[in-house]
Chains A and B, each alone.
Chain A
Amino acid sequence: MQATHSHPAVHDHHAHAQPTGLMRWITTTNHKDIGTMYLWFSFTMFLVGGILALALRSELFQPGLQLVEPEVFNQLTTMHGVIMVFGAIMPAFVGFANWMIPLQIGAADMAFARMNNWSFWLLPPAALLLVISFFVPGGAAAGGWTLYPPLSVQMGPGMDLAIFALHILGASSIMGSINIVTTILNMRAPGMTLMKMPLFCWTWLITAYLLIAVMPVLAGAITMILTDRHFDTHFFNAAGGGDPVLFQHVFWFFGHPEVYIMILPAFGIVSEIIPAFARKPLFGYTSMVYATSSIAILSFIVWAHHMFTVGMPATAQLFFMYATMLIAVPTGVKVFNWVATMWKGSMTFETPMLFACGFIFVFTMGGFTGLILAITPIDIQLHDTYFVVAHFHYVLVAGSLFALFAGVYYWLPKWTGHMYNETLGKAHFWLSVIFFNITFFVQHFLGLAGMPRRVPDYALQFADFNMISTIGAFGFGITQLLFLYIVVSCIRGGEKAADKPWEGAQGLEWTVPSPAPHHTFETPPVVR
C-alpha cells in the first residue's frame, strides 16, 4: 500500500490536460480566473468608452463645430453610452460577482462553471462588433443608447452590428444571472442561511432576478427594430401603422430596471465596506435586504418617467411620478443605514472607505436630482437637457463607478496578495471626486439654462460651463490612468497582504489566505 504523488499514470489522465498560458484563460472554468477576465475586460471598455467621452467633451470645449461632424458626434454619444452601460459597468459587477460570491458563500466555484466561461467569452466578440461599427458605411449607431426609432430604423449597417452585439451581451447576461442565482441559492456552505448572507450576495441575487426578468424585453425590442429595418415589418413605423412610442415603452420597461441592475450591486459593495471601516456590524441588515427588494420591485412600475414628454394621460403621469418618488423611501432607508453604521463607529478612512463615503455623498446628490426629475412638470421642462445628463452621471459614475473603485481597493489585497499604495489610492479618490464634480456639477446649470443633450454645438451663453466641464472630464480621465498604475503595481508586488488586511472586515472571504488560492477553501468554511 502506498500513496503515490505525481505519478506518471495520473499525469496521463489529468495533470497534463490542464492548459497553461493563453489556453488557461480561454478554457478556464475557475471563478477567480473568469472574474479577473471580466474585470480587465470591463476596465478596457471603460477606457474605450472614456476616450469616446473625451472626444465628445473636446468637441464641446467651445461653441461651434471643431473636431467632428454632427453625425459623428451622435455616433460618439451613442457608443459611449452603450459601451459604458453594457461593456464597462455591467461586466465589472459580474466580475465582482464571479470573484466574490463563491468566496462569500463558501462554495468551491460557480454552479455552472463551463457556462460561466461561455458567458465571459461572448463579451469580446460583442465588444468588437461595437467598436468596428465605427468603420462600416454610415458609421456606428447614432440614435442614442436608447436606440429610439425612427432614427434606429433608418441608419446604416452600424445599427445592425449594435443590435447583434446587444443580443450577444444579453445572452451573456442571462447565462451569468442564471449562474449567480443557482450558485447563491444552491451552493451556500452549511449553516449559511439566506439571512446570514453578505449583503453583496443579496444585492446580486436580486440583480440577477431583475436581469432575468427584463433581458427578453430588450431582446424582443431590438429584434423588432431589426425586422422593421430589413423585413418590412412596421412595429415602430408610423407610416405603416406602427407606433414609435411603443418602442419607448418597451425599451424603458427594460431600461429602468437596467439602471438598478447597475446600482444594486454597488449598494452591496458599499454595505460590505462601511461596516469594515466603521468597525461595527451593518445597521439594519434585514431592512437593507427588504429595501433592496423593494427598489427592485418598484423598478418595474416607473419606466414611463423617462418619457413624460411623449404625451400621456394625466393619471398616468401622476402614477409614474408618485411611483418614482416612492423609490426614494427604500433608497433613503439604505442611506440612513449606512450613516447609522458609521455613527459612533471607530472609523478609519482608507481608500475603500473614502470611495464608499464619496459614493454615499455624491450618489445621494444624484438621487435628489432624480427626485426633481420625477416631478412631471419639472421633467417636461428639463427633458433631454444637460440636467438629465448630470443626474444620471451622478448616479452611474459617482454611484456605480465609485462603488466599483471602492470594491477593487477593498478586495485587491485578497485578489493579489499585496497591499496597494495607500497614498496613491487616496490621491486617486480625491482627484476623482474633485474632477468628477468639476465635470458634472456644472452640467446641472447648463441643463437648467436649457442646453439640450446630444447636440455638438451650443449657444454662446453655455460656453464657460462647457469649458469647465471639459477640463474636469480630462482631469477625471487622466486620473483613471493612476488607478491603472496602482492596480498593476499591486499585482506586480508590494507589501504582503495579511489574510484579513482590514481589521473590521467580516465574511468567509477573509478566512482564506491572501491571495485567495486558485481552489478556494483549503479548510471547510464554518458559518455560525
Chain B
Amino acid sequence: MGSVAITAVPSEDRKRSDPTVGLSLTARPNRSLSPAVRNWVAAGMCVPVLVVALVVAAQGAWLVMPFAGLEMAMIVFAFRWLRAGDSDYETVSASGHELVLRRSVRGRTEELRFNLHWVQVVFEPAGIARKSVLALRSHGRVHPIGHLMTEVERTAAADYLVTRIRHARAAAA
C-alpha cells in the first residue's frame, strides 16, 4: 500500500501566471516503522535465533548452526529488501508544456517527459484477480504508473490527472 500526496490547489493568481501549477502527484510506499526501528526488529529476530542455536550447539547439536545461519541470512535479506524500497517514489508534475514523470524504484531513478498536449491517461479498472492499470501514453508508448498506490488511490489519481491536465491544456491554449 502506498501513500499519495496531491498538492494543495494554488491560488487563482498563480494559476493565471502558470497554468500547470498545482499538477503534482507523489506516491510513496507506506511504512509503519522507521528504518532505525526496523533494524532493531531485525536484530530482535536474529538474536534469539543465534542464542538458541549457540545453546543447542554447545550441547552437541552443532548442526543447528547452519540452519540458524541460513535463517538469519534470510531475515537480513528480507529487511534489506524492505529498506531498498523505502526511497521509492513516483511523481507526476507539469512544467511548462511538459508533463514530467519521475520515479525511483529500488535506487534506479528515471525521468520521462511527455508533451502535455499529446499525453493520454490510460486507466483500466480492477477486475477479478486483476489490479487496475494506470498509465501515461504518448507517441505509441505506454508507461504504467501507480504501482505504489492502492486501488482507490489509483482511481483517484486517474481522475485527478485527467482533470488537471485538461485544465492545464485549456489554460495554455
A193 nearest in chain B by CB position: B32
Q: Give bound CA distance, A12 to B122, whole Å.
A: 13
Q: Mark B56-70, 1 if CB is under 8 A from A, else 0.
A: 100111111111101
Within 8 Å by CB of B64, from A28, A112, A178, A216, lies A216
A223 nearest in chain B by CB position: B63
| Interface-facing stretch out of B5-13, B46-54, B104-112 | B46-54
Asked whether, in the complex, the Cβ of B150 is within 8 Å of the Cβ of A108, the reply is yes
Asked whether, in the complex, the Cβ of B74 is within 8 Å of the Cβ of A227, the reply is no
Q: Which residues on B sit within 8 Å (CB–CB) of A107?
A: 1, 30
Asked whether, in the complex, the Cβ of B59 is within 8 Å of the Cβ of A213, the reply is no
Within 8 Å by CB of B67, from A216, A249, A253, lies A216
Asked whether, in the complex, the Cβ of B64 is within 8 Å of the Cβ of A250, the reply is yes
Asked whether, in the complex, the Cβ of B162 is within 8 Å of the Cβ of A217, the reply is no
Asked whether, in the complex, the Cβ of A212 is within 8 Å of the Cβ of B59, the reply is no
A179 nearest in chain B by CB position: B78
Asked whether, in the complex, the Cβ of A186 is within 8 Å of the Cβ of B33, the reply is yes
Asked whether, in the complex, the Cβ of B32 is within 8 Å of the Cβ of A188, the reply is yes
Residues of B within 8 A of A (CB-CB), count: 61
Within 8 Å by CB of B75, from A13, A178, A300, lies A178
Q: Which residues on A sit within 8 Å (CB–CB) of B16?
A: none
Q: Give bound CA distance, A11 to B168, whole Å.
A: 28
Within 8 Å by CB of B120, from A1, A14, A106, A215, lies A1
| Interface-facing stretch out of A132-140, A411-419, A514-522 | A514-522
Asked whether, in the complex, the Cβ of A224 is within 8 Å of the Cβ of B61, the reply is yes
B79 to chain A, nearest CB (A): 7
Q: Which residues on A sit within 8 Å (CB–CB) of B41?
A: 181, 185
Within 8 Å by CB of B30, from A1, A12, A187, lies A187
Q: Give bound CA distance, A285 to B76, whole Å.
A: 32
The reply on A523 being an interface residue by CB < 8 A is yes
The reply on B36 being an interface residue by CB < 8 A is no
Asked whether, in the complex, the Cβ of A187 is within 8 Å of the Cβ of B126, the reply is no
Asked whether, in the complex, the Cβ of B142 is within 8 Å of the Cβ of A13, the reply is yes
| Interface-facing stretch out of A2-10, A342-350, A442-450, A493-501 | A2-10
Q: Give bound CA distance, A175 to B124, whole Å.
A: 33
B166 nearest in chain A by CB position: A1
Range for the number of chain A residues in contact with chain B: 35 or more
Q: Which residues on A sit within 8 Å (CB–CB) of B82?
A: 111, 182, 186
Within 8 Å by CB of B52, from A3, A192, A216, A223, lies A216
Q: Which residues on B sit within 8 Å (CB–CB) of A216?
A: 49, 52-53, 64, 67-68, 70-71
B73 to chain A, nearest CB (A): 11
Within 8 Å by CB of A214, from B52, B65, B123, B169, lies B52
Asked whether, in the complex, the Cβ of A220 is within 8 Å of the Cβ of B63, the reply is yes
Asked whether, in the complex, the Cβ of B49 is within 8 Å of the Cβ of A518, the reply is no
Q: Give bound CA distance, A6 to B133, whole Å.
A: 9
Residues B5-29 near A (CB distance < 8 A): none
Q: Give bound CA distance, A517 to B129, whole Å.
A: 9
Q: Mark B140-166, 1 if CB is under 8 A from A, else 0.
A: 101010000011110000110010011
Q: Give bound CA distance, A190 to B122, whole Å.
A: 29
Q: Which residues on B sit within 8 Å (CB–CB) of A524?
A: 150, 152-153
Asked whether, in the complex, the Cβ of B125 is within 8 Å of the Cβ of A5, the reply is yes
With A186-B38, A187-B30, A220-B61 as contacts: A10 and B122 at CB distance below 8 Å = yes
Asked whether, in the complex, the Cβ of B45 is within 8 Å of the Cβ of A209, the reply is yes
Q: Give bound CA distance, A209 to B47, whole Å.
A: 11
Q: Which residues on A sit within 8 Å (CB–CB) of B65?
A: 220
Within 8 Å by CB of B49, from A33, A213, A250, lies A213
Q: Give bound CA distance, A14 to B68, whole Å.
A: 40
B149 nearest in chain A by CB position: A108
With A1-B166, A186-B31, A187-B30 as contacts: A243 and B60 at CB distance below 8 Å = yes
Q: Which residues on B sit within 8 Å (CB–CB) of A181?
A: 41, 45
Asked whether, in the complex, the Cβ of B123 is within 8 Å of the Cβ of A5, the reply is yes
Within 8 Å by CB of A178, from B78, B121, B122, B169, lies B78
Q: Give bound CA distance, A220 to B62, whole Å.
A: 8
The reply on A357 being an interface residue by CB < 8 A is no
Asked whether, in the complex, the Cβ of A521 is within 8 Å of the Cβ of B1, the reply is yes
Q: Give bound CA distance, A211 to B64, whole Å.
A: 15
B38 to chain A, nearest CB (A): 7
The reply on B137 being an interface residue by CB < 8 A is yes
Interface hub of A175, A182, A227 (most chain B Cβ within 10 A): A182
The reply on A398 being an interface residue by CB < 8 A is no
Q: Which residues on A sit within 8 Å (CB–CB) of B124?
A: 5-7, 10, 14-15
Pick the 8 closest A-B CB pairs, nearest first.
A220-B64, A216-B67, A219-B67, A216-B68, A108-B1, A188-B32, A18-B130, A220-B63
| 11 further interface pairs, Cβ-Cβ under 8 Å (given A178-B75, A182-B82) | A1-B119, A3-B162, A6-B124, A186-B38, A190-B30, A209-B45, A212-B75, A221-B64, A235-B61, A246-B61, A519-B126
Q: List 19 A-B contacts (CB under 8 A).
A: A1-B166, A2-B162, A6-B124, A7-B137, A9-B137, A14-B133, A33-B129, A112-B78, A182-B82, A189-B30, A215-B71, A216-B64, A220-B63, A220-B65, A224-B63, A250-B59, A518-B126, A521-B150, A524-B150
B residues neighboring A (CB under 8 Å): 1, 3, 30-33, 38, 41, 45, 48-49, 52-53, 56, 59-68, 70-71, 74-75, 78-79, 81-82, 119-126, 128-133, 135, 137, 140, 142, 144, 150-153, 158-159, 162, 165-166, 169
